[in-house]
Structure 1
Amino acid sequence: MAVLALVLLLAALPLRAAQALVLLRDVEIETTIRELADPIFLAAGLDPSSIAIYIVNDNTLNAFVAGGQNLFLNSGLLIRTETPDQLAGVIAHEAGHIAGGHLSRARVAMEDAGTQAILGTLLGLAAAVAGAPQVGVAAMAGGLTVAQSGFLKFSRGQEQAADQAAVRYMGELGQSPEGLLQFFEILDSDDLHLSGRANPWLQTHPLTGSRINFLANQVAKSPYAGKAITGAAVERHARMRAKLDAFLSEPSDALRRWQDDPSVPGRYATSIALYRIPRLDDALIAIRALIAEHPDDPYFHELEGQMLYENGRIAEAAGPYREALALLPASGLLKLGLAKTLIGSDDPADLREARQQLVDTTVTEPDNAEAFRLLATAEGRLDNEGAAAIAMAEFSLLVRHYDDARRYAMRATQIIQPGDPDFLKLQDLQAAIDALPPGSRNPRRR
Structure 2
Amino acid sequence: MRRRLIQSTLAVVLVVIAVFGVSLVIVETRTISNSAQERVDSEAVRLASIVDSRLLGEQTVDARVLKEQVAGDRYAVIRIPGEPVIEVGTEATGDVISATETGEEGETVTVQEPRSSVTREVGRTLLIIGAVALLAVIAAVLLAVRQANKLASPLTDLAETAERLGSGDPRPRHKRYGVHELDRVADVLDSSAERIARMLTAERRLAADASHQLRTPLTALSMRLEEITLTEDLDTVKEEATIALTQVERLTDVVERLLTNSRDPRTGSAVSFELDEVIQQQLAEWRPAYRSAGRAIVSSGKRHLRAVATPGAVAQVLAALIENSLMHGGGTVALRTRVTGNQAVIEVTDEGPGVPADLGARIFERAISGRNSTGIGLAVARDLAEADGGRLEMLQAQPAVFGLFLSRTPVQKPVPEAEPTVR
TM-score, normalised with respect to structure 1 = 0.19
Work out which structure has the larger RCO, using CA pairs closer than 8 Å and 6 or more positions apart in sequence. 1
TM-score, normalised with respect to structure 2 = 0.20
Structure with the higher fraction of residues in helix conformation: 1
Structure with the higher fraction of residues in strand conformation: 2
Q: Which of these two proteins has the greater Rg computed from alpha carbons?
A: 2
